[in-house]
Structure 1
Amino acid sequence: MNLNYRHLYYFWVVAREGGFSKAADRLDMAVQTVSAQVRELESKLGQQLLKPSGRGVVLSEAGQTAFRRAEEIFQLGSTLIEELAKVGAQAVLRFSLGLPDGVSKLAVHRLLEPVLQLPHLRLLCHEGEFDPLIGELAMHQLDAVIASQPAPANPNLRLFSQKIASSQIHWYGPESLLGQLKPEQRAFPLCLQHLPVLLPTTHTPLRHALDRWFETEHLHVHITGEFEDSALMSLFAMQGMGVFPVSALGAEDLKALPGLHCLGTTQLGEDLYLINTRRARQHPAVLLILHPSESTTSHQDRPTQD
């Protein structure tokens, strides 16, 4: 037997109010409608729940049992509404972000600082190859992608790209290595020829730019490691594995790593783009990345946007 909880609710109100007339006023319904609903409940249960008493009604023995259970049920319902209201007030704000291999995670961390101020944020960072991440974005499985290149020119994808960062490349290294250089070897960038070098992997735009820069400067460097993750590269550098390049934006986070010093600055720049769909353009996190001045956090090195 399936219980009709609407009928049970009408019975509960009648019992609490002591009569059909008062219950009908509270429910803003006709007395006949309320009475009919309660009679259907009694018919379904096979028990008389209410007995006439003067101008009102009283509970029968079966009605008293039904009323106690109804009290429990609807008090639980009231508690559920209150709890759900609290959950709604603290709803989690999900932000799914794609980060292609090779993009500077240190720079991305700086760019996301305004986003981290959002209440109840749940940040989901997905790393992978550029093309698969763009495909996930187009299928609305991601809210945005931060990459070192704009989205491909494909009208079927309906993606929007906006440059959000452009900063010079600095070189950093640990004191344990720099202290081994002779005075005549310390000049930048020639010092790179006398030091072990850590670089981004070969499929990244920054690596291509660095390789061209080495050729232009006639530098022959000894590469001891290649990394897709700039943060991981900086940790290996801190342990003395080599010196490494990092964007000025990402260099701010290096202050938390002891023993790393700046060797010099190049004229190379690293560009970062925010790629998203029309649907995600109003996401609070996307808006803060595009307009960081609207948050409580600001960056002096933050570039102008295209």
Structure 2
Amino acid sequence: MNSLNYKHLKYFWMVAKTGSIARAAHQLHITPHTISGQLSEFKDALGVELFRRAGRNLELTDAGRRILSYAEEIFVIGDELLEVLRDQTAKRTLSFRVGIADSVSKSVAYRLVEPALTLKDPARLICREGCLTPLLADLAIHRLDMIIADRPMPSNLNVRGYSHLLGQSGLTVFGAPALTTRLTGPFPACLDNAPFLLPGEEVAIRPKLVQWLESKSLRLHVVGEFDDSALVKSFGQAGAGLFVAPTAIAPHVCEQYKVEAVGRIDAVVEHLYAITTERRLTHPAVVAISKAARQNVFATAKD
């Protein structure tokens, strides 16, 4: 016997369900002659009689009934397979594309975006990281649904977008234990001439941080400048210098990078924005992110 011909099985199943070749042909939109020929081939391939005449109708033989029970299971499983594939296809098309500016803390970005993965209808998250200007270009041509940035939409760019404040936080100075044990005096005097990892020119808080340090008559010993927030933390973890990060995630920074908090700079505030093409937030994922920012991420930033 050759392998099972599923077209033959389908025609057999339809004739068995309808009771006649004519009705099966009508359901399948083919000619009765075609079904009759296919049934004959199926019978010859199996080597058993499938139907017997009962007036104008056909009824199943004992062998036909056994084959029908298998056919039912096969087609139920086939329908389940198609349903699973349809669900997976639908989920693949529901993507949520987020751009994250280099200067944004990756720990904050994760805590902000994570609610998008727990929606009732979860989206496939696609994250892009880079400088703000190229990200805005992608937003303009709808390659991104949202951008998380540490500054609002620049007014000098010909891009339609709206800035939505997600939250704000003061800064905390951190350092590796081997470095912080060498600091002397109270904060912030202990920062004077200490090795410091300064945010790069692309980071929005840099001018205000430098101004604050100068206002305290603190001499800067700048070891390096970093646009990427994750990179500066890695250098800080290695003991290359002190660095700042949002107070809102201070416990997380200490735990993940094995560093210590030296002191808080409440006068320098970092703001985070969601930049979208929507004047009013309606995308479920963006709404969830905005809600999480207010209730969780920045809720205790001023404590």
CA, structure 1 residues 302+212, in 2 after alignment: closer, same or farther (shift >3 Å)?
closer
CA, structure 1 residues 79+41, in 2 after alignment: closer, same or farther (shift >3 Å)?
farther
Report what 1:37 is aligned to: 30
CA, structure 1 residues 291+83, in 2 after alignment: closer, same or farther (shift >3 Å)?
same
Shift of residue 87, structure 1, vs aligned partner: 3.7
Q: Which runs of 5+ in 2 are unaligned?
A: 1-5, 43-50
TM-score by length of 2: 0.74
CA, structure 1 residues 110+248, in 2 after alignment: closer, same or farther (shift >3 Å)?
farther
Report what 2:174 is aligned to: 172
Q: Take 1:205 and 1:35, find their aligned partners in 2: how far apart are those partners?
A: 66
Report what 1:286 is aligned to: 286
Report what 1:267 is aligned to: 267
Q: Take 1:40 and 1:280, find their aligned partners in 2: how far apart are those partners?
A: 62
After superposition, where does 1:290-305 map in structure 2 within 5 Å? 290-292=290-292, 299-301=298-300
Contact 1:7 1:38 in 2 (8 A): no
AA aligned to 2:188 is P
Question: Percent identity, aligned pairs only?
Answer: 35
After superposition, where does 1:1-306 map in structure 2 within 5 Å? 12-19=13-20, 33-34=26-27, 37-39=30-32, 41-42=34-35, 53-57=54-58, 74=75, 77-84=78-85, 87=88, 94-118=95-119, 120=122, 122-153=124-155, 157-182=159-184, 186-256=185-255, 257-278=257-278, 281-292=281-292, 299-301=298-300
Q: Deviations over 1:159-187 (max 9, x none)?
A: 221111111122122222222234xxx22
AA aligned to 1:174 is A
AA aligned to 1:167 is S
Shift of residue 6, structure 1, vs aligned partner: 10
Report what 2:3 is aligned to: none
Contact 1:10 1:34 in 2 (8 A): no
Q: How large is the RMSD of aligned CA atoms in angstroms? A: 4.1
Give the secondary-structure state (helix, strand or coil) at the position aligned to 2:30. helix
Shift of residue 147, structure 1, vs aligned partner: 0.7
Contact 2:105 2:229 in 1 (8 A): yes
Q: Take 1:155 and 1:178, find their aligned partners in 2: how far apart are those partners?
A: 43
Contact 2:164 2:273 in 1 (8 A): yes
Shift of residue 223, structure 1, vs aligned partner: 0.8
AA aligned to 2:278 is R
Q: Deviations over 1:10-39 (max 9, x none)?
A: 664223343268x57xxxxxxx94597342
AA aligned to 2:125 is L
Contact 1:108 1:250 in 2 (8 A): no
Contact 2:112 2:289 in 1 (8 A): yes
Shift of residue 130, structure 1, vs aligned partner: 1.0
Report what 1:29 is aligned to: none
CA, structure 1 residues 250+227, in 2 after alignment: closer, same or farther (shift >3 Å)?
farther
CA, structure 1 residues 278+79, in 2 after alignment: closer, same or farther (shift >3 Å)?
same
AA aligned to 2:181 is G
Q: Deviations over 1:223-268 (max 9, x none)?
A: 1122222233223212211111112123242131334123232401
Contact 1:95 1:121 in 2 (8 A): yes
CA, structure 1 residues 280+121, in 2 after alignment: closer, same or farther (shift >3 Å)?
farther
Contact 2:195 2:223 in 1 (8 A): yes
Q: Take 2:95 and 2:160, find their aligned partners in 1: how far apart are those partners?
A: 22
Q: Deviations over 1:67-113 (max 9, x none)?
A: 99987984563242343366479768533211122223233233334
Q: How many residues align?
A: 284
Q: Take 1:207 and 1:92, find their aligned partners in 2: how far apart are those partners?
A: 39
AA aligned to 1:97 is V
AA aligned to 2:227 is E
TM-score by length of 1: 0.73
